[in-house]
Structure 1
Amino acid sequence: TLTLSPDSARGFSGEGGVLEALATEDAAADAELVSVLLAWEPRIEPASLAEQSGLSVERVRAALTRLGTAGRVGYDLADAAYFHRELPYDADRAERHNPRLVAARRLAGEGAVTLDGSRATVASGDRRYQVRESGSAFSCTCQWWADYRGRRGPCKHALAVRMVRRGATVAGGVR
């Protein structure tokens, strides 16, 4: 197996694109349900899995993303389709080792997020960052946002706000 990343300093988080799916409260349980329905098909159809599982297509896609980071599902760019596979990955490694996701869970778990309508304030260290939500898009006053403007996924502050808005807290912090 050969796995490549666009830069040696970057990981395999889809440039941050998978963080939203990993940060949802339902993704872990949904991934377990969806994984039971996988049957080594050469092409996985999210709509079919949604019908079989009783989940929305959006939740199935989030579950497939989670299964993908665990090495249990692949995505073929040429076919624009998911496929079933089993790689020897630690299923929770992507979550444990993603610094933005880990930091976002810490911020949300520590109560650093204050919601105010479509805006939120996130206390991080000795600074306060303003996060705005417009539809499904976020913006933030942090340096990460200034540098990447969402091209590499959300910053830790926006992720923490999304977690708090979803109420994704569990015992011991935020999931």
Structure 2
Amino acid sequence: MEKHLEHILHKHKIESVFSKQLFISKSKVTELSKNHEVFREGKKNQSEYLLISGVAHRYNISEKGDIVTTGFYMSGSVITPHFARTHKGKNIFSLQTLTDAVIVEIPVKELDNLRSTNKEFNDFGQRIVEAELVSNFYNEVVFRSYNAKERLLTLRKQFPNLENLIPHTIIASYIGITKVSFSRLRNELTRE
């Protein structure tokens, strides 16, 4: 598993052996089963996360009690940074695995210390924030201006094969339609 983590760190431009070992020494790798809740909306959490393998989604619970998926994370993803996913120290969404997964957890204070003392980690933090900002603006445009069909086609481009890995109710929730409408839309796209 350490090799997978080193590969992900390298992908995010943490390239020196020293920096990789420093991160590994401060973090914890955990294997999680499908449907494991990593953290819950409204609860305190003081960690940062990398998803080594598997699929996870972020979600909120609506006033009616329905799960509303607001984003996906695939193998190799950095989970939305702590400062952006918390308000007054509490999570603004929940994170759940949708497949068996392996996740790396590092305390926020440890990663903040690495960012303030190591250029590779400082640059890493900056790149993650920039990527998160770009992703959020893109999704805002997609979800405010695209119809359901266009949103599904965009999702397929962003996350190829996702429909074969997770429940369709989760995808329907993400694109803002019912499971029945999602099934009809998939059939329509198959005929095109």
Q: TM-score normalized by structure 1?
A: 0.29
- Higher strand proportion: 2
- Higher helix proportion: 2
* Higher gyration radius (CA): 2
Q: TM-score normalized by structure 2?
A: 0.28
